[in-house]
Amino acid sequence: MEYTKLNVQVETLKCGLSLLALARIWRSEGVTEDNRLSTTLDEVIVYPIPALLYLVKNLIQGSRVLHP
């Protein structure tokens, strides 16, 4: 389980750093069409597919590390 916990922590850190960078841009340039966060239903529907594949890969990789 430690391996999975580490992945969650890394992904959370990456998300946080990205949001901080975006907030910095918003403060200096303001919200424009180029840096605005938006999505459509079609995009939201396909997002889980690579996320699920990534999750499965990490679980398999983590089980190999913990149980060689």
List the chain domain ranges.
2-66
**pTM of the predicted model over 0.75:** no
- Cα 7 to Cα 4, 27, 35, distances in angstroms: 5, 30, 27
Alpha helices in the chain (DSSP H): 2-29, 41-46, 48-66
Contact 2, 65 (CB under 8 A): no
Residue at token pair 């594949």: 53
Instruction: Give the pLDDT of residue 5.
Output: 81
- The whole-number average pLDDT for the span 16-27 is 93
Q: What is the pLDDT of residues 27-54, one digit of tens each?
A: 999 998 888 888 899 888 888 898 889 8
